[in-house]
Amino acid sequence: MITLNHLEKKYADTYAVKGLSLTFPDASITALLGPSGCGKTTTLRMINRLIEPSGGQVLLDGQDTARLRPEVLRRGIGYVIQQIGLFPHLSVAQNVATVPDLLGQNRSQTAKRVDELLSLVGLEPSVYRSKRPAELSGGQAQRVGVARALAADPPVLLMDEPFGALDPIARDEVQERFLNIQRELKKTVVIVSHDIDEALRMGDYVALMRAGELEQFGTPDDLVRRPASEFVRQFLGDDANLRQLAGVPVRQFARSGEAAGLPRIEAGTNTRTALALMLRAGSERAAVWEGERLLGVVGFSDLTRAEGSGVAPAGSGAADAAFATGSSSSSPSSGSSSSDSLSSGRPG
Ligand SMILES: Nc1ncnc2c1ncn2[C@@H]1O[C@H](COP(=O)(O)OP(=O)(O)OP(=O)(O)O)[C@@H](O)[C@H]1O
Ligand SMILES: [Mg+2]
């Protein structure tokens, strides 16, 4: 657990971060969200002491990090930076292996781990292992950055706009992939973003900052439905419901029905993209597939009704039966692999 206690960073006479107190819960993703210049990166870098605070404390599992040697502290903290920061003269594999190599691990073990990590972030090891960073697209380089941060298997992962260089569709895919990884690894993750959709989709919790201070901490649902201030409401925008829905995978709306002849949608596709695909296909309904498995069908009206009424789906099933009031856990990462909505009808 990471706790910030009246944390401050002052440059000359202005505060980059001011009186920031908040806790990043264990085994969860917390999105640090806010406008450009509000102090997100500064906050993140004070956690691993790349920036020394001017005041306050950072506690890691109750221990004051100011008392730890920075190298020791950073060994337990993976870090993905805003500008990627790969070593240009090293291969992809060498970049990923930087940390395990430093820790003096056995070479063949490290090589195996590197391949696992590259697969995990969706880069085929045999293709990418030997490439140099200059031969990668921005998005591929960012994936290498994520693999590198995971390499030492740190309990804590700090990510500064890790998917910022990706186009929207690739970003969807990598976010989904990361959420899948996180369901297994259960790291304590702080992900900086100024992308509202990303924060609502990735965060179990969202900490919204404004001018160095905390404006609201809560679940995505809290911020969307119970904004603590006019600033929060305006920052999320009038289409906050739609934005939140955009982060919900369409699998959560799948219900049994006749799927024959319907366009195919992957279960992990977010709801907004699913609506767009249905519009493009000119179909009111679509079949939701998880790989080879048919989960069921989804109707255009299920999705638009959920959006219009501000209804968040709770688990699987039809949207109209799904709203639970006062629920504080609306984690978009609590994806159900439900089989209760399984339909046997396969398109012929
Ligand atoms: N070394 C520095 N010296 C003086 N001011 C700084 C320094 N580093 C950051 N700042 C200021 O502190 C504030 C917070 O910067 P920070 O990089 O944390 O913002 P951010 O929220 O990460 O923004 P972005 O979304 O654009 O990355 C900004 O106003 C910035 O100009
Ligand atoms: Mg920043």
Residues 147 and 99: beta-carbon distance below 8 Å? no
Residue 190: CA count within 13 A, CB half-sphere? 28
Does ligand 1 have an atom closer than 6 angstroms to the CB of 40?
Answer: yes
Q: Which of 14, 40, 195 to mutate to test the pocket of ligand 1 (most atoms within 8 A of CB)?
A: 40
Atom in ligand 1 nearest the alpha carbon of residue 44: 18
Alpha-carbon gap, residue 303 to 314, rounded angstroms: 13
Q: Kindly provide the b/e burial profile for residues 151-186, where b requires at least 16 CB atoms within 10 angstroms of the residue's own CB.
A: bbebebbbbbbbbbbbeeebbbbbbbbbbebbeeee
pLDDT at residue 204, as a whole number: 94
- In the chain, the domains with their CATH numbers are 2-243 (3.40.50.300), 249-321 (3.90.1280.20)
Q: Which amino acid is at 310?
A: G
Residues 147-184 have pLDDT tens digits of 888 887 889 999 998 887 777 777 877 888 888 888 88
Alpha-carbon gap, residue 245 to 74, rounded angstroms: 36
- The ligand with the least distance to the CA atom of 13 is 1
> Which two structure tokens, joined as six digits, stand for 72?
């020791």
Task: Please state the three-class secondary structure of the chain as a single string.
Answer: CEEEEEEEEEECCEEEEEEEEEEECCCCEEEEECCCCCCHHHHHHHHCCCCCCCEEEEEECCEEHHHCCHHHHHHCEEEECCCCCCCCCCCHHHHHCHHHHHCCCCHHHHHHHHHHHHHHCCCCHHHHCCCCHHHCCHHHHHHHHHHHHHCCCCCEEEEECCCCCCCHHHHHHHHHHHHHHHHHHCCEEEEEECCHHHHHHHCCEEEEEECCEEEEEECHHHHHHCCCCHHHHHHHCCCHHHHHHHCCEHHHHCECCCCCCCCEEECCCEHHHHHHHHHHHCCCEEEEEECCEEEEEEEHHHHHHHHHCCCCCCCCCCHHHCCCCCCCCCCCCCCCCCCCCCCCCCCC
pLDDT at residue 306, as a whole number: 60
Does ligand 1 have an atom closer than 6 angstroms to the CB of 12?
Answer: no
pLDDT at residue 201, as a whole number: 87
Atom in ligand 1 nearest the alpha carbon of residue 45: 18
pLDDT average, residue stretch 97-106 = 70
Residues 298-314 have pLDDT tens digits of 988 887 766 554 444 43
Q: Which of 168-172, 263-267, 298-302, 340-344 has the lowest mean pLDDT?
A: 340-344
Does ligand 1 have an atom closer than 6 angstroms to the CB of 223?
Answer: no
Alpha-carbon gap, residue 198 to 166, rounded angstroms: 12
Confidence of residue 336 (pLDDT cuts 50, 70, 90): very low
Task: Say how many Å lie between the CA of residue 160 and the centre of ligand 2.
Answer: 7
- The ligand with the least distance to the CA atom of 33 is 1
Task: Say how many Å lie between the CA of residue 43 and the centre of ligand 2.
Answer: 9
pLDDT average, residue stretch 49-61 = 95
Confidence of residue 84 (pLDDT cuts 50, 70, 90): low
